Every structure is written in C-alpha cells, then in structure tokens.
Amino acid sequence: MGHKTALVVSAHSADFVWRAAGAIALHAGEGVDVTVVCLSYGERGESAKLWRQAGMTLERVKAERQKEAEAAAKVLGVADIQFWDLGDYPIALSKEALFRLVDVYRKIHPAFVLTHSKEDPYNHDHPQVSDFAQNARITAQAHGHEPGEAVLGAPPVLLFEPHQPEQCRWMPNVLLDITPVWEKKRAAIECMAGQEHLWEYYTRVALQRGVQAARNSDKKITYGEAYEA
C-alpha cells in the first residue's frame, strides 16, 4: 500500500466536524490520507436555520450543506470527501449502499475507522450508521465477497462522541490531545453556518475533554476529543 489511510463514516454532513475534526487534522498533518463519507446532508433534521429562510428548497439546503462540509474538509486537510445523499430522518441504508461502502474499505484499506456511537435515542440515524459502517467492515474482510480482491485486514473502529453521551451509554476510553490543531477544528466548525448554535457547545466539549486528558498526562493539554474503542 501507499500512504497510510483512515476512514470517517459520517451520518450527516456536519457530524465529522463536531466529533472528529481534531483527529482528522492531526492525522492529515502527519501525511495520512483521510477519506470522509457523508451518507446524508442532514437536510431534513439538521438544517433548521436554513429552512427558516424564505423560499428555501430541499435542493438548496443540500447544496448549502455540501458547500459547508467541503469548506470544512479543506481546512482539515481531508484527502477525499464523498456525499452519498441517502436522506436523513430517517436515513436509507440499502444493501447497495452497504456494498458501496465495502468498496471504499477495499479501495483504501484504512488503518483505522471513525464513526458513530452504538446508541442514540435522540437520533436514530447515528446508531444505524454505526452498525452500517461496522457491517461493511466485516463484509470487506470476507474472502467470498468479490473473490480476487484484496480483503480488508482488521482496522480498529473508534466511536466518536455523541451529542448527549450519557443518554447514549457511550463510554470514552480514548482521549486525544487536539491542542496543536484546535485552530483548524474551530475554523472547520465555523464553516458549518447552518448549525451555528453548536459552535460554542462543541468548543466547550473540546475544553472539557482537554481537562480530562491533561489529568493523566505530563503534557499541557487544552483541547481534546474522546472516543470509545
């Protein structure tokens, strides 16, 4: 294989920014080619600010959300961002889409995968995508799927932080220091104009995780991200 690669499977076009932008920027800065798959734009359930504008249409919302995510990806150094337009609230995850994600796994052979928590009572798209990403990973390891292709190894899957972790029974056991790339994450956050109400929330999350990471480190850590391995 060539460059080291990583895969981020994001239910909606902003999820990878709130939850994994630090990890993306850190690894991209180290030469890792990061692929982000946005399965949906979040056009129905996560674009309220846009829908408040007079004369807004579904296609305009999608276009705006894609433009925001592309700008954020550029800030973070993402190698490839894909928009699959599978809808949201609810997301439609077909077998065809599953095999499409298998093809991505087989094409890039990621060293690690980042995706959603296994539970989220407030957003059923998220756990569906978590299961979808892990099911595709298993299928990509199967010798009987498209025989002759190089099968996937066993890249670790880390689950990024949901909006309300306690209610999702998500338990962080990996704390990542993102202080060196915080300015990039904050700039990416500010690209997501359709959800401006979350900018300060996710800044506070990063500060809180930074405090927790610093408690067990000899480094000065201000900003962090948390994952469940």
Distance separating alpha carbons of residues 146 and 185, to the nearest angstrom: 38
pLDDT digits (tens, 9 = 90+) for 70-84: 999 999 999 999 999
Amino acid at site 65: R
pLDDT digits (tens, 9 = 90+) for 102-152: 999 999 999 999 999 999 999 999 999 999 999 999 999 999 999 999 999
Q: Closest Cα partner for 112 from 144, 142, 78, 152? A: 152
Assess whether the previous peptide bond of 156 is cis (omega < 30° from 0): no
Amino acid at site 198: L
pLDDT range class, residue 2, cuts 50, 70, 90: low
Q: Closest Cα partner for 212 from 227, 197, 190, 200? A: 227
The runs of H, that is alpha helices, within the chain are 15-29, 48-51, 58-76, 95-108, 125-140, 182-191, 199-215
* Encoded tokens for 169: 């029974």
Token match 């359930």: residue?
A: 45
Is residue 3 predicted with pLDDT exceeding 70?
yes
Q: Are 205 and 170 a contacting pair, CB within 8 Å?
A: no
In this prediction, residues 56-69 reach a mean pLDDT of 96
Q: Are 79 and 29 a contacting pair, CB within 8 Å?
A: no
Distance separating alpha carbons of residues 43 and 176, to the nearest angstrom: 30
Amino acid at site 93: L
CA distances from 130 to 8, 11, 92, 137, 164 (A): 11, 9, 13, 11, 16
CA distances from 169 to 120, 163, 198, 211, 221 (A): 8, 12, 21, 21, 26
pLDDT digits (tens, 9 = 90+) for 173-186: 999 999 999 999 99
| pLDDT for res 206 | 98
Give the global pTM.
Answer: 0.96
Distance separating alpha carbons of residues 36 and 8, to the nearest angstrom: 5
* Encoded tokens for 128: 């569906």
| pLDDT for res 1 | 45
